[in-house]
Chains A and B, each alone.
Chain A
């Protein structure tokens, strides 16, 4: 199994780990795993899209270039059918429903992960953790459907170099 798939499995496992009275630590780690499952899926796939012949060592180094904040910004551009003009010129059409779902989920999961890891005042319920694990699963499924499309290539490029899409060229 790959790291993203292992994290996805772990997110699900942690959300159900205690049969009664789930521990906050389990639920928080579950939410964090859901985010990182999607984060590592997208960075691995984006790197493979942009550099299909890179060595493993180079791939692993490049995967560290991705910036969480930039990825959120790019996902914001892909989260509605109508992309910003500088992006739609490259896309050549509206953002697909699967791509919108992936982008929306990434933003949702990133915010949830920050809350789970740092907001000690919040109390998590099992259902919330299960919801985010399901969102991550749906994101994997949506990516599998579009990973070989023009749109996913543009998305990969944007994730790696968000600034290219900040203005019209």
Chain B
């Protein structure tokens, strides 16, 4: 296992542990995680929070979901993961 792959595996475990501490907002259907390098060549953890197709996202929901992602980002950084956590919301509609 090369050092990068090893770091990815350590991060994968930490990310799962930290995410498990959160209760997902009802609008979130699932979370995808991807471990790679960012545009600067630094380790990255990309977390995509998939919002249910039928969920109506107005300003209030957007503010709440953005705040939730910010809390997840802080928790991951405080959990000393090697990669920077890039979080994004996606909704097909």
Measured CA separation A138–B68 after assembly (Å): 13
Kindly identify, within residues 52 to 88 of chain B, every residue whose CB is under 8 Å from any CB belonging to chain A: 57, 62-63, 65-67, 69-70, 73-74, 77-78, 84, 86-88
Name B's A-contacting residues (CB within 8 A).
Answer: 38-40, 44, 51, 57, 62-63, 65-67, 69-70, 73-74, 77-78, 84, 86-92
Judge whether B86 and A108 touch: CB under 8 Å. yes
B80, closest chain A residue (CB): A80
Number of A-B pairs whose CB atoms are under 8 Å? 59
Residues of chain B lying within 8 A (CB to CB) of residue A81: 78
Contact with B66, one of A111, A115, A135 (Cβ below 8 angstroms)? A135
CB distance from A49 to the nearest CB of B (A): 24
5 interchain pairs, CB-CB under 8 A: A76-B84, A107-B84, A125-B90, A127-B89, A127-B90
- For residue A104, CB closer than 8 A to chain B, the reply is yes
Name A's B-contacting residues (CB within 8 A).
Answer: 69, 72, 76, 79-81, 97, 100-101, 104-105, 107-108, 111-112, 114-115, 125-128, 130-131, 134-135, 138
Residues of chain A lying within 8 A (CB to CB) of residue B92: 125
At the interface, is chain B mostly helix, strand, loop or mixed?
mixed
CB distance from B6 to the nearest CB of A (A): 21
10 nearest A-B residue pairs (beta carbon): A127-B91, A134-B66, A114-B39, A131-B89, A80-B77, A127-B89, A125-B90, A128-B88, A104-B73, A134-B62
Judge whether A111 and B39 touch: CB under 8 Å. yes
Residues of chain A lying within 8 A (CB to CB) of residue B88: 112, 128, 131
